Amino acid sequence: MQISPSILSADFANLERELKAIANADWAHVDVMDNHFVPNLTLGLPVVEALLRVSPVPVDCHLMIDDPDRWAPGYAEAGARSVTFHVEAAADPVATARAIRSAGARAAFAVKPGTAFAPYEDLLPEVDMVLVMTVEPGFGGQSFMADQMAKVRQVREAVGRHGGEVWIQVDGGVSAATIEQCAEAGADVFVAGSAVYGQESAASAVDELRALAERHRHPA
């Protein structure tokens, strides 16, 4: 059970400090948005490169951008340990996943709440993780969409059929109140923004979320 705090909820003026505050996390989740694929603009490769120099934990880049086939491998080449692209935006998801892996990172694909997983099940051998969005991508602080747990279960069942070790990540509205149902459905990587950075102690919030997920772990 892995906790990946989202720096989208961190203090952008003090990102090195904010990263050090989550040194007990498994990942630092970095949302890259281009104001095209989603209606928001955050940061790009130059800022990610700076974060990579100071992050005490591996960086997990979630690319909410157009044309990830072109841009995603660069994040892996820069040193991100995990790079997620949206299947809705990828022209050739197989080639993109292989390019990310060839550059030394874990490859993952994401599906928005309205995107069915079944058409993309054949991609499982090409990736290391599937991200099921539990809010519409684009902004932090949205309400958790519990109806996406059916999709998490669907992905978990598909992973079981295909074999191999593919992680299932959930992102959006994950908190102490919602992480248990995510774990029970089969998720094992949890992105949490305000549920970590909105607390008095980010490190304590990470520990609490991990403990809750462990207690409700989906049977293998």
DSSP strand pairing (129-133 vs 167-171): parallel
- Catalytic, 128? Answer no
Q: Are 51 and 20 in contact (CB under 8 A)?
A: no
The residue from 31, 60, 128, 188 that is catalytic is 31
Our measurement of the distance from residue 153's CA atom to the centroid of its chain's CA atoms, rounded to an integer in Å, reads: 17
Helix, strand, coil tally for the chain in percent (to 5): 45, 20, 35
How many Å apart are CA 28 and CA 37, to the nearest integer? 22
Nearest to 77 by CA among 54, 48, 56, 57: 48
Which residues on adjacent β-strands are paired with residue 59?
28
Kindly report the length of the chain: 220
HSE value, Cβ hemisphere, 13 Å, CA-based, for 6: 27
Q: Are 172 and 145 in contact (CB under 8 A)?
A: yes
Helices 68-78, 45-54: inter-axial angle, 10-degree rounding: 20
- Catalytic, 171? Answer yes
The residue from 26, 60, 128, 171 that is catalytic is 171
Catalytic residue numbers read 31, 171
